[in-house]
Structure 1
């Protein structure tokens, strides 16, 4: 409310004409006149001496003009600063991601991103727990699978697949695995859960498995599989290099679950910060 009429007042003061001010502001002369009248009423002072040939400032208006001109200049500077920030993003991004996926996929890309955009600082917290972004002051999070929090905006970055693998030596020694039911005769390397998920005849099934090793480290489980200790079920980002090299053999492929999404999520905000948008775009482009 306090800004109402300021632009019109400054324009008339500088142009010394209501019609020229209106032309400059691209509004009608009547609208300029109404705004000035309302401003005079609110301030309870006369701002202009008006004749048919000239418009000039009153003594009180001259002082008011100096302050208003500074205010508009500061507003222009503020808008320019935001424009510069849009074209040259800078500042801090606070990010959270799952521990293992963050270590293997997100952090290397974040490091590349920071090296590329030297005026952006990224603070990353890796955790296996789901964090409240607002409460924790996080700008964004990397989340996997089905999303639960509808108050967040999500963008799909990539997909992940889950594989069941074993070494060729293990399979040669302990026998091939053709059916899900064959797993009961094998040493299954366990993470935090003792059930593995498969799709059989179009339905998802959770199958309880047992084995001699249980740990919450995917890297540790991969190491055990490479040492011919047993069979492992893990996300592709753990297994891809070893599948590609032939050190681990995918099995039960016909029962593998469909790929699930990996998301960037962030609090609802009408205007997404340019630096955060830039990071999300970078991750979407480089994750595979």
Structure 2
């Protein structure tokens, strides 16, 4: 009779290429992962991994064994999913990541409300502007902004965001308002981590090089600089909309405003879309619109 012991651990190590990452994914210890994989190797009388101090590599026989084990593990996950979806309320831990500012300003409040609505859910929310490896680091879900470049992920658009170029009335009174993209080179442009701003010119996307005295990777800091008249800024609506409504900031270059950019929920293709994740994505989509 087949023995499942060690198979989940083996598959996790292959997919994460790390005993530590596999332990994090399965919420267990590295020692337990190592013990179960060693026991599996002893039972099969083969070497499944080549271990060095720097990395873990699957052997040829290990890769073959993985191809057979993976569908079995997915089948077991599907069986568990079928049971989970019969439950009245989603349960379990959700590990997700999102950009810092959007997470602090928008997402965190929604997630807290979600936890109140589903008291059997546990949340591990990591706010970072770095793009995490969802598979290797064991994330169930990521919220990403703008254009997507990772085709290995499944994605669902939650809403659209608008990018605005704006400045304070005091800055415009002193330096004048730009009316063409070429005029930006004469202005102080408050830029973040990129040297280019994106515009749309007669249906064509254009990337315009910008420069200025201030560079910062914080949207809040750039808004403050714009409010104080230090320059022109390009930021998403959730940074500047309140100040545009009060007149503390004024939109410029409106004819060149680009298309809306998406805010997306991403999850790995090789993860089952469990009831808790599906419920969360549905909740975010409704709450954000």
**TM-score normalized with structure 2 length:** 0.69
Matches within 5 A, 1:97-246: 97-246=98-247
Structure 1 residue 185: Cα displacement: 1.9
In 1: Cα distance, 2:234 partner to 2:272 partner: 41
**SS at 1:135 equivalent:** coil
Q: Which has more radius of gyration?
A: 1
**SS at 2:251 equivalent:** strand
Q: Which moved more, 1:210-219 or 1:191-200?
A: 191-200
**SS at 2:223 equivalent:** helix
Q: Tell me the C-alpha RMSD between the 2 structures.
A: 2.3
Structure 1 residue 145: Cα displacement: 2.3
Tell me what 2:287 maps to: 286
**SS at 1:159 equivalent:** strand
1:153 and 1:267 in contact (8 A); partners too: yes
In 1: Cα distance, 2:205 partner to 2:248 partner: 28
Residues 13-39 of structure 1 deviation map (CA, whole Å, 9 limit, x = unaligned): xxxxxxxxxxxxxxxxxxxxxxxxxxx
Relative to structure 1, the CA distance from residue 258 to residue 80 in structure 2 (aligned partners, 3 Å threshold; closer, same or farther) is closer
Residues 78-116 of structure 1 deviation map (CA, whole Å, 9 limit, x = unaligned): 989925763211111000111222222211111111122
1:86 and 1:274 in contact (8 A); partners too: no
Aligned pair count? 213
Tell me what 1:272 maps to: 273
Structure 1 residue 285: Cα displacement: 0.7
**SS at 2:110 equivalent:** helix
In 2: Cα distance, 1:214 partner to 1:80 partner: 47
In 1: Cα distance, 2:254 partner to 2:270 partner: 42
Q: Which moved more, 1:88-97 or 1:204-213?
A: 204-213
